[in-house]
Amino acid sequence: MLLKQCYNFHDFRKLARKRLPGPIFNYIDGGADDEVTLRRNTEAFNQCDLVPRVLQGVKDIDLSVDVMGTKLQLPVYCSPTALQRLFHHQGEYAVAAAAEKFGTMFGVSSLGTVSMEDIAQQFNTPQVYQFYFHKDRGLNNAMMERAKASGIDIMMLTVDSITGGNRERDLRTGFSIPFRLNLAGLWQFVSKPMWGINYVTHEKFSLPQLQAHVDMGGGTSSIGDYFTNMLDPSMDWDDVADMVKRWDGQFCLKGIMSVEDAKKAVDIGCTGIVISNHGGRQLDGSRSSFDHLAEIVDAVGDQIDVLFDGGVQRGTHVLKALALGAKAVGVGRMYLYALAAAGQPGVERALTLMKAEIERDMRLMGCHSVRELQRNHVRFR
Ligand code: FNR
């Protein structure tokens, strides 16, 4: 299968599976425990039907949205994800370049394999930095200062990961960070020559935080162990309120899954929240992100920008989330499979297809602008 034969999420996933060693593919693909929430995230969209209007004279379509002080030309953005250069040597550079081309934003992960400074200098996209709150307060302060100095527009603190989710696929495959070739997995790597050549012929990345983990005796471990050992489980609302004050700019909490927490985010001065369950990778058995969307928008949507991610594979999923009041919609695996499949051209093709789907669906819904999408455009079963 070739890139040009990819027409949807499932095609990119197939191609990524072919190209990546098993442990790496499963790291992207998997979720926590029995992966109930992972599946639910996408299934939830099927409980909600679109209600089209006809004869609306739809010629031009405006896909732009205003999010946390910046304008996006596409209502879809690339959610922050870790370790991208492990999936393809172009990693974050490819995703940032594609996001720039589509006029949307891309979040650099705290566990990114390219520095926030490099991305900020090279790309003219709204700059988002995803923050993990570490036990080491000095490291937290240093990361905040670096983010300020490099002109980050939106600080996005992930709050659903104070300990590692139970990702059993990673335990079975032996996926570890820093990444090591072990004997058991050697065949996997030999059998994926495209990935192997890419990996050995390009400059290796290093992650300072991961090195600190190794230096502290953590050695190589699953990503879940990294969270558990390095991130601060005692983080509370006071810590976050303090960060919001010190940041003094656009500040967003990623991983809000209740009305109560959404209201607290408003109270401490956040300017945005992302309804997200980390793509089903943390607490299994929680509701889908989509199931929370309407009630959270109803509670705080007029006071804070509500963003949304989890399970998005299709343009129609994006339309449903926007109709319920999301300001913009994040995608994770959708662009990661495309990155793994083909680097920058892969991510660009994934976003091209997504944009075309949204435009087509908007016409079929009789909408001129994504801002026109309202509750009367959907019905729940
Ligand atoms: C993630 N996600 C994530 N979130 C975060 O705040 N920091 C991170 O470093 C990562 N890393 C990461 C790696 C991989 C491989 C995946 C799949 C996900 C979660 C991500 O931002 C987003 O919330 C989900 O991916 C959304 O769900 P979908 O679109 O993947 O279903």
Pocket test of ligand 1: the residue of 29, 41, 79, 154 to mutate, having most ligand atoms within 8 Å of its CB, is 79
According to the model, what pLDDT value does residue 184 have? 60
How far apart (Å, rounded) are the C-alpha atoms in residues 375 and 192? 47
- Give the ligand 1 atom nearest the CA of 111: 9
Name the pLDDT band for 201 (thresholds 50, 70, 90): confident
149 neighbors 180 (Cβ within 8 angstroms)? no
Q: How far is the CA of 115 from the centre of ligand 1 (A)?
A: 18
Measured in Å, residue 56 CA sits from the centre of ligand 1 at 37
Band of residue 241 on the pLDDT scale cut at 50, 70, 90: very high
Q: Of all protein residues, whose CA lies closest to atom 18 belonging to ligand 1?
A: 81
Task: For residue 226, say whether it is annotated as part of any ligand binding site.
Answer: no
Nearest CA, atom 11, ligand 1: 81
pLDDT at position 287: 97
pLDDT of residue 194: 79
Q: Per the annotation, does 278 bind a ligand?
A: yes
* pLDDT over 70 at 355, yes or no: yes
Q: Taking all residues of the chain, what is their mean pLDDT, rounded to a whole number?
A: 92
The structure tokens listed for 81 are 């994800």
| Residue of the CA atom closest to atom 8 of ligand 1 | 81
CA of 151 to the centre of ligand 1 (A): 23
Strand ranges inside 42-186, DSSP E: 48-50, 65-67, 70-72, 76-78, 106-108, 127-131, 154-158
- Active site residue ranges: 278
Which residues is 127 bridged to in the sheet? 106
Helix, strand, coil % over all residues of the chain, rounded to 5: 50, 15, 35
The class that CATH gives domain 3-373 is: alpha beta
Annotated binding residue 167: yes
Q: Provide the strand spans (E) within 54-148.
A: 65-67, 70-72, 76-78, 106-108, 127-131
What is d(CA 100, CA 102) in angstroms, rounded to the nearest whole number?
5
Question: 């999010």: which residue's tokens?
Answer: 67
For residue 151, what pLDDT is reported? Answer: 94
Residue 101 token pair: 């081309």
Rounded CA gap, 339 and 14, in Å?
Answer: 12
CA–CA separation, 242 and 256 (whole Å): 18
pTM score: 0.96
* Alpha carbon nearest to ligand 1 atom 24, residue: 279
CA of 4 to the centre of ligand 1 (A): 26
* pLDDT at position 177 over 80: no
- As a whole-number percent, the residues of the chain with pLDDT over 70 amount to 92
Distance 340 CA to ligand 1 centre (A): 15
Closest ligand 1 atom, CA of 112?
A: 9
193 is in an annotated binding site: no
ipTM for the whole complex? 0.99
Any known ligand binding at 371?
A: no
Q: What pLDDT is attached to residue 165?
A: 94
List the one residue out of 69, 232, 27, 221 whose CA is nearest residue 153. Answer: 69
- Is 130 labelled as part of a ligand binding site? yes
CA 280 – ligand 1 centroid, Å: 9
Instruction: Pick the residue whose CA is nearest to atom 1 on ligand 1.
Output: 81
| Residue 324 tokens, joined | 């319920």
Q: Which atom of ligand 1 is nearest to the CA of 27?
A: 15
Pocket of ligand 1 (CB under 6 A): 27-28, 41, 79-82, 109, 111, 130, 158, 254, 276, 278-279, 281, 309-312, 331-334, 336
Average pLDDT over residues 5-34: 96
Residue nearest to atom 2 of ligand 1 (CA): 81
Domain map (residue ranges) of the chain: 3-373
The residue-averaged pLDDT of 288-310 equals 98
